[in-house]
Amino acid sequence: MHNKTVVIQGVQIACKLLDIPEPQVLFAKSTTNKTKHITGIFTPKEYRIFFNEDWVLNSSEAEVLLFCFHESRHAYQYYSVKNNINETSETLEIWRKQLLDDYKSPHGELNDYHEYLQQSIESDAIRWSTNKLGELFGVKAEEINI
């Protein structure tokens, strides 16, 4: 299967599991040294997921699915915050702040992966996506080259 199809179907599967509307999925070519390391990104205000087309075309289906699930989980987080549903008020407030006010990117000037990984939205998306990939497809995170 072509990996762009995997992206579309992966986001559809994840959104169905999460019971959220599907975000718009777009592909973009990496144009700078900074963007070539980005696999995908969810943009809350536009409710879109952008995938790095070069990365998608050169990755395994398992890697692509993992990131489809991961970015779709961010869509779930935003949908939950926007509609004040699915999670505790404490969790929603943390997610709102991290998604909309103070997101720490792993690809910023400092490249601070520790700060990035310490965010609740990231640990939640990593945990959910790896668990679902294992549950649905029998793939373990350590089997994926990420």
pLDDT at 66: 94
pLDDT at 85: 98
Has this prediction a pTM greater than 0.85? Answer: yes
pLDDT at 55: 93
Q: Is there a domain that residue 142 lies in? A: no
Q: Is there a domain that residue 146 lies in? A: no
Cβ contact 106:121 at 8 Å: no
pLDDT at 90: 98
Q: Is there a domain that residue 145 lies in? A: no
Q: Which domain holds residue 29?
A: 3-137
For the chain, 146 residues long, the average pLDDT of each consecutive 10-residue run is 92 98 94 73 95 94 94 98 98 96 69 75 95 85 62
- What's the maximum distance between 2 C-alpha atoms anywhere in the chain? 41
Q: Is there a domain that residue 143 lies in? A: no
Q: Is there a domain that residue 21 lies in? A: yes
Q: Is there a domain that residue 18 lies in? A: yes
CATH code of the domain covering residue 131: 3.30.2010
Number of domains present in the structure of the chain = 1
The owner of tokens 């505790």 is: 88
Q: Is there a domain that residue 69 lies in? A: yes
Q: Is there a domain that residue 103 lies in? A: yes
Q: Coil, helix or strand for 30?
A: coil
